[in-house]
């Protein structure tokens, strides 16, 4: 975040959540849902979850 010039407050605003929640995430004290991961990806314009891996996982699950 520092490299991007973002504060916790600015990230929280982008994610539409509280600064306290962002603080917990960054300290590793909060388990994130897929929805939260998606918001984080969008807010930082990054990919955390690779869509190809998700597609592969569903193919593997269908083969059982």
Tens of pLDDT, residues 10-35: 999 999 999 999 999 999 999 888 89
The whole-model pTM stands at 0.68
Please report which confidence band the pLDDT of residue 53 belongs to, taking 50, 70 and 90 as the band edges. Answer: low
- DSSP string for residues in 10-64: HHHHHHTS-HHHHHHHHHT-SPPPHHHHHHHHHHHT--SS-HHHHHHHHHHHHT-
Mean pLDDT for the chain overall:
82
Tell me what percent of the residues of the chain surpass a pLDDT of 70: 75
């Amino acid at each position: 975040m520092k490299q991007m010039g973002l504060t916790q407050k600015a990230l929280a605003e982008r994610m539409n959540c509280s600064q306290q929640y962002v603080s917990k995430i960054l300290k590793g004290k909060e388990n994130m849902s897929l929805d939260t991961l998606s918001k984080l990806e969008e807010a930082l314009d990054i990919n955390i979850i690779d869509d190809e891996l998700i597609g592969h996982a569903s193919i593997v699950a269908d083969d059982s």
